[in-house]
Amino acid sequence: MLKFLPYVRKNVLGHRVRTAMTVAGTALLLFLFLFVTAIQGGLDRVLGARDDRLIVFQAYRFCPSSSQLPVFYADTIQGVPGVKSVLPVKVVVNNCRASLDTVVFHGVDPKLLPAVRPNLTLLAGDWGAFQARTDAAIVGRRIAERRGLRPGQSFTVAGVTVQVAGVFASDGTGEENVIYTHLNLLSNPTAHHVYHATLFEVQLDDPEHARAVAAAIDAKLKEKFEVPTETKPQKAHYAAALADLLDLIGMTRWLGFVCVGVVVVLVANSVVMSAQDRVKEHAVLQTLGFSGPRVFSLMLAESCLISLAGGVVGTVACVAFLLWRPMTLSTEGASIDFVASPGLVASGLLLSLAVGFVAGAVPAWQAGRAEIVSSLR
């Protein structure tokens, strides 16, 4: 089959305008399909977060700014059997609604952060500078890229002014969209010098006992304090925060399917027109000894080549766009990253080949079965 590639290439380039328009349309639609796939992939990563953590949140509250739990709750939570560690977190966001440029602050104890976040890798700056200043912050890579932040800079968002002490990378879901700063900077003490956190992250000894430990934490806090709490696995907490977006993102999946369908029709139309233009040519090939399956394979190769060319252009354009403009959809402190992963590239290329095969199968089959005499006429 390889020896016929020059013939296939010549036929594809024989109608340059038609081929170029088909490739451009395919590239545009696959770009849209891959962009939608990136959104869905980001949501899947959030909802697939590990369940070895529990989130203790104030009951009947939703937006992070509405949850106010005294920091000293951590001592009680630490005493519950099955709890490995507790991290009080004060969450401050510049926008609780869905946004593509939400800034999320996590106020924590800087001495506890390295132990509970061993997956953080500083790309610039150092831990010492972060721990030494009460207004210091380390910034996730994605938000640093969006905002153009570097160590040594000072910036103010949502009424919070911090000095950038470092930029970090992380393999944690959505963590590169977080700015870690000191808990006391974000939490204003009450008249009794009581600091409040938004939530408590609870690391478990055994994730298999997550539900039992969560129930025990709520029961223990209810027994000792007035403010009720609701403890959930981290995955369930994220799902509740993103509830308003789940249906919307789910609908984008149908948009992706429509794009694939339009690509099939577009490529099929191009192949049909090409087959009609070369009816006599195919009859001559059969007269020279080309079998029906051989004509079928040549037409199918043309279809796959056109579709693959569009797929390569669309995939490269989508990956380049996501790398040039890192995008994150956030709501209520939970973030969905649009990531140009290797899987996204592979799916784009494989899909373009599959589309080429499906779109060209019927026209190629018709060309291979055509009778020589009627075709010559």
pLDDT for residue 56 is more than 60: yes
In this predicted structure, what is the pLDDT of residue 286? 56
The terminus-to-terminus CA distance of the chain in angstroms comes to 29
The two tokens of residue 208 are: 């298999």
Q: For the residues of 342-370, what is the DSSP string, one character each?
A: HHHHHHHHHHHHHHHHHHHHHHHHHHHH-
Stretch 253-273: mean pLDDT = 82
Stretch 73-81: mean pLDDT = 91
In whole angstroms, what is the distance from residue 92 CA to residue 204 CA?
A: 25
Stretch 360-373: mean pLDDT = 64
Higher-pLDDT residue of 141, 18: 141
Identify the CA nearest to 33 among candidates 299, 238, 270, 266.
266
Of 24-33, 200-209, 272-281, which range is least confident?
272-281
Percent of the chain surpassing pLDDT 70: 82
The answer to whether 246 touches 336, Cβ cutoff 8 Å, is no
The answer to whether 244 touches 331, Cβ cutoff 8 Å, is yes
The answer to whether 356 touches 307, Cβ cutoff 8 Å, is yes
In this predicted structure, what is the pLDDT of residue 375? 47
Percent of the chain surpassing pLDDT 90: 11
pLDDT for residue 356 is more than 90: no
In this predicted structure, what is the pLDDT of residue 66? 78
pLDDT for residue 138 is more than 70: yes
Stretch 332-343: mean pLDDT = 78
Mean pLDDT (the chain) is: 80
Identify the CA nearest to 174 among candidates 129, 94, 257, 234.
234
Identify the CA nearest to 171 among candidates 110, 220, 118.
118
In whole angstroms, what is the distance from residue 324 CA to residue 320 CA?
A: 6
| pLDDT band (50, 70, 90) for residue 189 | low
pLDDT for residue 212 is more than 50: yes
Q: In this predicted model, what pLDDT tens digit does every residue of 225-236 receive, in sequence order?
A: 888 888 988 888
In this predicted structure, what is the pLDDT of residue 139? 92
Q: In this predicted model, what pLDDT tens digit does every residue of 294-324 receive, in sequence order?
A: 667 777 777 788 888 888 999 999 999 988 8
| pLDDT band (50, 70, 90) for residue 137 | very high
In this predicted structure, what is the pLDDT of residue 299? 75
| pLDDT band (50, 70, 90) for residue 129 | confident
Q: Which residues pair with 137 in a beta bridge?
A: 164, 181
In whole angstroms, what is the distance from residue 31 CA to residue 255 CA?
A: 12
Of all helices (H) and strands (E), which one includes residue 99?
Answer: none
